[in-house]
Amino acid sequence: MSKRDYYEVLGLERGADDNDVKRAYRKLARQYHPDVNKDAEAEGIFKEVSEAYTILSDPQRRAAYDRFGHAGVGAGGGFGGGGFDSSNFGGFGGLGDIFEAFFGGGRGDPFSGQRGGSQRSRVERGSDLRLDLQIGFRDAIFGLEREIEVQHLEHCDICDGKGMEPGTQMSSCPTCRGSGQIQQHQRTAFGTFTHVTTCPKCQGQGNFAEHPCKGCKGKGRVDQRKTLKVTIPAGVDTGVRLCMNGYGDAGAQGGPPGDLYLVLHVQDDSEGIFERRDQDIYTELPIGYAQAALGDKVEVPTLEGPTKFDIPAGTQPGTVFKLRNKGVPYLNSPATRGDLYFKVNVSVPTEVSAEQRNLLENLYELEKGLGGGFSFSEDGGLGAKKSDKHADDKKKGGFFDILKETWKSHHKEED
């Protein structure tokens, strides 16, 4: 019976890379390994999958197979001479690599002791740390530098993180014979089962310090508090995470440190003037009813200080105006900013003087003469009722004209 194409066996295209080959093999090995799959055909499929992986995972054999097919990798084919050895279980280097394919990692490999009993290295990256940081409203907008205190694990200066006294060496663990693991075999009616646990003496390292460091008591790390200077960029907001590489906990056995993450929480404006919505700023501006009716140049509060703005005549309460590029800088592009929006609130005085009352009464009489009340014109300003507008304008002039004349006459009398 002719052999199936190796790429077809693994379900791959011919251009698949090494990672694709390995992933495909692991998936199929888990599915058809005889210890897992008891179907009659499982063992044959597993051997076929393993053979395909052995060839395609080896660059020279794969090149020969791609060029000559099965003839290029069989007995006498010139690469490896002798073809596929099923005892190697697919080129994983022994039964231990099959165990890794099933359980996703070599630390629990029960067959490592069968590979020469080499000692294990447990150099690991340190843990990442998180620090929640409160910052002020304006500090988040414009950025700042500040100092923070961090408590983390650092490598011991005495032993340089190795956990043993200077000048001494690590010794092979006699309990596990350098494998880092203890195997316990149990015979049952269904066969022999092997239970693997981490060696309690060396904690899975395969070696231990006979003379542990006195500074860190053999741990290789010490707890320390450190002051760091942090630069917070302009435009950050609540929830932004800043990563400080290498400022987490030091790794075990001299391993590299983890990272420190600063999670920012931005406070509200302490003065209650501004409200932030993403990159835009919102505020409110109180003006008098005369300013709203006649128009005026007013000062609008911004993040950098007040700026002049012309309020048009006839501005209605609740009107919103926009000042471009007066908002919050974008985090990744500080030269670009959001906008500032301010809503006009027309203030009505709760108390008036006798003079003001007289002017208001005169204004009220004028308003009555224009037809009994104000109305909203099509262009957004105040005007007289349409039924009387043209006739009254001819007799007395427009409402705004009369209002302006009243104010002018009042100021002349003051002069």
Q: What is the pLDDT of residues 352-366, one digit of tens each?
A: 788 888 888 887 787
A 10 A CB-CB count for 231 gives: 10
- Identity of the residue numbered 18: D
pLDDT band at 113 (very low <50, low <70, confident <90, very high): very low
What is the structure's pLDDT at 354?
A: 87
Nearest-Å Rg of the Cα atoms of the chain is: 41
CATH class of 275-347: mainly beta
* Separation of alpha carbons 151 and 131, rounded Å: 10
* Separation of alpha carbons 31 and 332, rounded Å: 47
| pLDDT, greater one: 253 or 102 | 253
Lowest mean pLDDT across 38-52, 113-127, 370-384: 370-384
Tell me: pLDDT of 120 over 60. Answer: no
- Domain coordinates in residue numbering, the chain: 6-106, 129-266, 275-347, 354-414
**CATH architecture of the region 129-266:** Ribbon (2.10)
CATH of domain 6-106: 1.10.287.110
* Separation of alpha carbons 93 and 196, rounded Å: 20
* Averaged pLDDT for residues 187-195: 74
The average confidence (pLDDT) of the chain is 78
Tell me: pLDDT of 336 over 60. Answer: yes
* Separation of alpha carbons 347 and 359, rounded Å: 17
Tell me: pLDDT of 218 over 90. Answer: no
Q: How many CA atoms lie within 13 A of 171 on its CB side?
A: 10
Residue 30 to residues 40, 44, 339: CA-CA distances in angstroms?
16, 14, 58
Tell me: pLDDT of 200 over 60. Answer: yes
Q: Report residue 143 as tokens.
A: 């950025």
